[in-house]
Chain A
């Protein structure tokens, strides 16, 4: 791989006349005609039974290492939605927001754990909440489906407007696979040499493409996690930047991090500062991987699109924070932004379905 452009190292220019290089195909394809089913052919689909309690649904997400799963409602014989960590987060906030932070910090981990479990059980005044009622609580992950023959162009258009995943459902209503933004971007990255219009985009910088810039919503490292999470839900964000007193990016909190909160004796995390939360999550991740990661996944305005795609792919992140020389966030580059570029390169023009980081300018969203 070329470290600058992210392209396979023996291909730097698509405009070269050279025919064959050994081991590389010069066959090119029109990516817009690739079918949705082709990208999920080998997938094992995890479906959550709508009657299961939320705790079990969370366990299913963790065990399968996925961030979202469709929920099946047997009573209507249909899919009632997608369940993901953002829904869990929203649910927790509803349940926990009445608690007093200073009181909570006095309690032991065991007390907090027991209390948390009770809360989750009592939240709906009766039995454990079935997940079918909680799916898409966050309103950010509605159940979109496409047919197996749906073109990749249509999927990319959908993704470019902010949808994170679609279910590929055949004519009999069977889910053949879940197609995510990550999977599609990875597909492009692995096959970039087959698609010259995409390959041509790789060496261009974020500046040149005019992406990855805009107002970044952040929380200060001293602020409380619950407040940061509330701000995320309010602004429809899946991740929030954590900054120090000088505005330097220290880390981020993402919806998917909630899975660390749900482990036994980790509920105390909800009452900590953002800095402490980031520390705990990164420390756990480092132990699980056997190697520590950089606290923030970032890129510069002068980074190439290819480099950022390679990094998104390698880190399995959904976004990179775009920073200046002083480590201050000047924008965000998400999978949505990447797919928007791809869609536009094919002549489509998806409209963002909600305000994205590209144009966010809410004056109320200051660092807390």
Chain B
């Protein structure tokens, strides 16, 4: 696939137009080659802008690019959960994937708990693929790509970035590096915990009410930062009405990038801009105005957001 083909596809996807099933297959094949080289703890250089959950809200992703700058002008790190719930999971994920293939050093995509065969069959991506392409092949190709996505990122050896949180069986970054990530997200264990856990106002560990991963307290965060010589954990995974939320004396931040989540929650979204000295700037943005949002191609199943 030539660069001009890829540029053409990016152009289409930027207009929220679908590319063909064959183009998807080829794009995924290329993406696999890029992602397979990445580490479980992928190194990212500052300056970089960190983004949280997108969940198929394509027009709000465009808002995000307006606020944060276009790729590749801005260096981006997305913390997962590109798909499910919104109307445009397909277009959203394929655009980000195409940008990754085109500018591999200017955008980093790590895996969220929704980048999973099991979860996407329940929360909407599978149905959307079936509806838009008439077959499950695109879904299958995307799920294979999910398996290659990195589990976490590290910015300048100081900021640890993961979708969910920490695991009781992981004490060091090196332990994360030993995980074999090229598989469906397991329903327990280290890889599952990294994508499912949540910080909570407790001491030590607790069982998560989500049914996967754990709850972890400020003491656990402090210990992890100290043991690994880090300053901050940046994560996503939980809806934050104000877009971002700092906890435990600013040692962990949740970044949420899907404004007016599911088109009804009324929240704002945020991105975290880090300059080359790792100074932080949180930018808040709202959902794209109604008139720029396209009409869904077919009547969407109301189930996703009632």
Contact = CB atoms under 8 A, between A and B. Distances in A.
A328 to B, nearest CB: 12
B265 interface: yes
Interface in A290-304: 290-298, 300
A306 B206 CA distance: 12
A294 B211 contact: yes
Interface stretch (A61-69, A199-207, A281-289, A334-342): A281-289
A3 B214 contact: yes
Interface of B is mostly: loop
B207 A295 contact: no
B123 A292 contact: yes
Given A1-B207, A287-B265, 17 more contacts: A1-B204, A3-B168, A3-B214, A109-B302, A263-B306, A265-B302, A265-B306, A280-B306, A287-B264, A290-B238, A291-B210, A291-B237, A293-B209, A300-B188, A307-B207, A313-B207, A314-B208
Given A3-B168, A290-B238, A296 B211 contact: yes
Given A294-B211, A311-B211, A9 B205 contact: yes
Interface stretch (B40-48, B89-97, B114-122): B114-122
B288 interface: no
B122 A278 contact: yes
B224 interface: no
Contacts of A311: 207, 211
A294 B212 contact: yes
Interface residues of B, number: 37
Contacts of A296: 187, 211
Given A284-B306, A294-B196, A279 B124 contact: yes
Contacts of A251: 122
A294 B205 contact: no
Given A290-B239, A314-B209, A283 B123 contact: yes
B235 interface: no
B210 A279 contact: no
A290 B267 CA distance: 11
9 contacts: A276-B303, A279-B127, A280-B306, A287-B262, A291-B210, A294-B210, A310-B206, A311-B211, A327-B187
Contacts of B306: 263, 265-266, 280, 283-284
Interface of A: 1-3, 6, 9, 109, 250-251, 263, 265-266, 275-276, 278-280, 282-284, 286-287, 289-298, 300, 307, 310-311, 313-317, 323, 327
A298 B118 contact: no
Contacts of A294: 187, 196, 210-212
Contacts of A313: 207
Nearest to B262: A287
Contacts of A307: 207
B198 interface: yes
| Candidate in B187, B238, B261 with the most chain A CB atoms within 10 angstroms | B187
B304 interface: yes
A315 B205 contact: no
A6 B196 CA distance: 19
Nearest to B264: A287
A282 B211 contact: no
A339 B209 CA distance: 21
A282 B239 CA distance: 16
Interface in B98-119: 113-114, 118-119
A287 B212 contact: no
Contacts of A317: 211
A300 B189 CA distance: 12
A283 B211 contact: no
A316 B209 CA distance: 8
Interface in B228-269: 237-239, 261-262, 264-265
B122 A295 contact: yes
B259 to A, nearest CB: 14
B205 to A, nearest CB: 5
Nearest to A290: B239
Contacts of A286: 85, 123
Given A3-B168, A294-B212, A315-B209, A279 B123 contact: yes
B291 to A, nearest CB: 25
Contacts of B237: 291
Given A280-B303, A294-B196, A250 B121 contact: yes
A314 B124 contact: no
Contacts of A1: 204-207
A310 B124 CA distance: 30
B258 to A, nearest CB: 12
Contacts of B305: 283, 287
Interface string B191-209: 0000010100000111111
Contact of B118 (A6, A250, A283, A284): A250
B253 to A, nearest CB: 16
A81 to B, nearest CB: 31
A291 B198 contact: yes
B207 A282 contact: no
B123 A315 contact: no
Contacts of A292: 113-114, 119, 123, 210
A283 B207 contact: no
A315 B208 CA distance: 7
Nearest to A298: B187
Contacts of A315: 207, 209-211
B304 to A, nearest CB: 6
A16 B161 CA distance: 40
A275 B121 contact: yes
Given A275-B121, A286-B123, A294-B187, A314 B238 contact: no
Given A3-B168, A283-B303, A314 B206 contact: yes
Nearest to B81: A292
CB-CB nearest 3 A-B residue pairs? A294-B211, A290-B239, A314-B207
Contacts of B211: 293-294, 296-298, 311, 315, 317
